[in-house]
Structure 1
């Protein structure tokens, strides 16, 4: 006798094990991990998202408030401030950018001074989400925040993952926080971490490497990064760029448009799928077992698609000009 619903159970694929180099520390019983980055700078993760905070004699400065960590941010702050013998009051909250997955627990901290880029303020006003109050303090290019003897440099270099994503530099703590660009030890999630500005995204790691830092907070997954981790990400992206150029030069669009005739979108889809798959295949093969989830086809493939379309549309690569 068969089990009800057994025939409709999805047949899920197997993937290679996650490399040890991509795994972070174990979470505690409450589902989070908090540790010192350097001096009075601490980071918090639930294994999927990251936040950070400065524990100072004048209060706590929080950087992002992901809802998946949620109330565990308060627990982490209380745990550390008690051990450090400093106040546990959160006085400031810095938004890296406006997206709800990194800012959606902001409301938990009540009446604090919120800081973000001017575009963050505009986008949060547009979104009208009570979970993400608009920033009280905004800036256009850069802003220095000093609280309780700790200094942070907030800098805007233009759009990348989002129109408002900023660089958060802790010069006295040898650390850079740059969200949704590099997933330490892992490939990007779909379409370059769902980034809106591909040229800006591609440039961002180079910008990051211009800063002085040893520790890197990327906003996702359970590991603190180092400079070598960003270099590996740059190599992965560079290989996709090179492979995309090669595929654009080698895949002939003619058969797809001949086959589908007046169904122009079918011809376009067939051609773009063929170019994307040709470009992604060698990258998937090279990085499987090196970067976690590299063998999950949709991830590298959709990231390749985004880069390939930027090469075509932003840079003019692969354009066929009618004679």
Structure 2
């Protein structure tokens, strides 16, 4: 059994990564701009827009769960507006972001990408009712005089992950691509399309906005956060390219003989370590947990460069 003395040490998390404290019920709700609010439990985020015709909720993470309605109730009571959720917009199909959808009943109009519906049909999950309204490329949702622009710009984290733009509130919501103030989650956020996810921050910056909701951890983001994330990922990619051109695989095959998988593992582990080290040195103290998932994130990007972009692969003479 591993003891606490045997657990690894990681770099301290910079103060800039932290968000506001949650209340006794385990959530924080705050204004983004005007009648747009965000909710977090310190690990996940959702948002909602109050309107004269009801509330539009953006995602429903199960870790926040019933606190979503409590947050809506809190704001509605303070401002004398309706607390009834009439619309629920799905950012994408993953259960950790919409697994509390069923809490809002059958009468809520659920909106999502066409692929969100297709992917949810695989699972027949009662916690994630299928979207009632779907779209392929662009869709403008209008509720109570408010405008929400939904856009699909190609695959990134998932095939269906969309950009939720609220132009009248200077806000963009893009889930599971950029975590403001933090390094990436394991395996480059478990992205299904690595090149698409590497390009997504640039696409996000092409929209006009001031506030950013990334879906995870405890604070809102800014344009500077998205720029920083893009640079962090590009630094990983640049370092991975250097590793693929520098680390010689032949000594590993010589050592392990007919155990091909051992040779491949040792080579890729070494190349990954080579690539990750300078990134950790640069971003420790700048991004929270820059060193925690760096190995798996670097490996995924390195393998994408090697297998998808063809970097470092040589034709036998």
TM-score range, shorter chain: over 0.9
SS in 1 for 2:169: coil
Q: CA deviation at 1:93?
A: 0.3
Tell me which residue corresponds to 2:96: 101
Once superposed, what is the RMSD of the aligned Cα atoms? 1.0
| Unmatched tracts of structure 1, length 5 or more | 1-6
Tell me which residue corresponds to 2:66: 71
Deviation digits for residues 153-207 of structure 1 (CA, Å, limit 9, x no counterpart): 0000111101110000001000000000001100011011111110110000000
Task: Name segments (4+ residues, structure 1) moved above 6 Å.
Answer: none
TM-score normalised per structure 2: 0.98
Aligned equivalents of 1:251, 1:182: Cα separation in 2: 30
Tell me which residue corresponds to 2:158: 162
Deviation digits for residues 126-151 of structure 1 (CA, Å, limit 9, x no counterpart): 01111000101000001000000110
Q: CA deviation at 1:9?
A: 2.6
Deviation digits for residues 222-243 of structure 1 (CA, Å, limit 9, x no counterpart): 0000111111111111110110
Deviation digits for residues 92-129 of structure 1 (CA, Å, limit 9, x no counterpart): 00000000000100000002000000100011110111
Q: Are the structure 2 counterparts of residues 226 and 8 from structure 1 closer, same or farther at C-alpha, using a change threshold of 3 Å?
A: closer
Q: CA deviation at 1:8?
A: 5.3
Tell me which residue corresponds to 2:109: 113
Q: CA deviation at 1:270?
A: 1.1
Structure 2 counterparts to residues 55-94 of structure 1, below 5 A? 55-94=50-89
The counterpart of 2:300, out of the listed 280, 285, 306, is 306
SS in 1 for 2:149: strand
Tell me which residue corresponds to 1:3: none
The counterpart of 1:40, out of the listed 24, 31, 35, is 35
Aligned equivalents of 1:258, 1:9: Cα separation in 2: 37
The counterpart of 2:180, out of the listed 180, 184, 188, is 184
Aligned equivalents of 2:82, 2:120: Cα separation in 1: 29
Q: CA deviation at 1:14?
A: 2.5
The counterpart of 2:241, out of the listed 237, 240, 245, is 245
Aligned equivalents of 1:8, 1:127: Cα separation in 2: 36
SS in 2 for 1:172: helix
Task: Give the aligned length.
Answer: 315
Tell me which residue corresponds to 1:318: 312
Deviates more, 1:265-274 or 1:196-205: 265-274
The counterpart of 1:148, out of the listed 130, 144, 148, is 144
Deviation digits for residues 226-262 of structure 1 (CA, Å, limit 9, x no counterpart): 1111111111111101100111110000011111222
Q: Are the structure 2 counterparts of residues 8 and 64 from structure 1 closer, same or farther at C-alpha, using a change threshold of 3 Å?
A: closer
Aligned equivalents of 2:13, 2:307: Cα separation in 1: 35
Tell me which residue corresponds to 1:4: none
Aligned equivalents of 1:91, 1:318: Cα separation in 2: 52
SS in 2 for 1:126: coil
Aligned equivalents of 2:73, 2:146: Cα separation in 1: 19
SS in 1 for 2:31: strand
Q: CA deviation at 1:295?
A: 2.5
Tell me which residue corresponds to 1:258: 254
Q: CA deviation at 1:15?
A: 2.4
Tell me which residue corresponds to 2:128: 132
Aligned equivalents of 2:55, 2:275: Cα separation in 1: 46
Q: CA deviation at 1:85?
A: 1.2
